[in-house]
Amino acid sequence: MSIPSIFFSSKEERDRVFYDEQGAVSSIAWRVASLLPDPLVQPVAIVCIGTDRSTGDSLGPLVGTMLKEKPLARFHVYGTLEEPIHAVNLEEKVEAIRLIHHDPFMIAVDACLGRLKSVGAITIAKGPVRPGAGVNKQLLPVGDAHITGVVNVSGFMEFFVLQNTRLHLVMNMAKTIANGIYEAERFILRKERLAAPPLSTDRHSLW
């Protein structure tokens, strides 16, 4: 099992969006794109953390599974329902990603717990996610940037709370996050096409 981080409130409200608010997908896409290096020369690894053995903690693997079904060109996805990245294999998987890709820009996706009024909130920010912070566990910080979703309330019997989180909420949050990441990649691809020099139509340029 992955152990979600904890979330109370964002210092930067602009980094937070609720999954069901109007324009949530576009807001996530814009925030994700704005965190990426410009120009983007590094491979981008989306590291989805969590496990399908806990409803609340399945947010990350659901996002990974949904992204695997999309025609991604520049983003590489790790952590799915079939092959989850969780507390037991986290360090091993992150090391494997670093061996596959040279100097990857990692975006970690994870569930977290927070205040009642924050349930359903998605935060996109610089820096790593710290899995396990919500239950005082020290796991490897992951990511150059992170996306976290508040799936339930913290403060009491966190594991029980995670097990009893509504799948409907987690599924809808995962759809919003996955669509936002996909739209971010499409934005990056459009930007790169616009920045590319036009093909010359001068016949002499062929010689």
Q: What is the pLDDT of residues 166-179, one digit of tens each?
A: 999 999 999 999 99
Instruction: Tell me what pLDDT residue 11 has.
Output: 46
Domains of the chain (ranges, CATH numbers): 23-188 (3.40.50.1450)
Q: Is the pLDDT of residue 13 over 60?
A: no
| Number of Cβ atoms within 10 Å of the Cβ of 144 | 18
pLDDT at 200: 55
Q: What is the band of 12 on the pLDDT scale with cuts at 50, 70, 90?
A: very low
Specify the pTM.
Answer: 0.86
Q: Is the pLDDT of residue 43 over 90?
A: yes
Give residue-wise pLDDT tens across range 83-128.
999 988 999 999 999 999 999 999 999 999 999 999 999 999 999 9
Residue type for 3, please?
I
Average pLDDT, the chain: 87
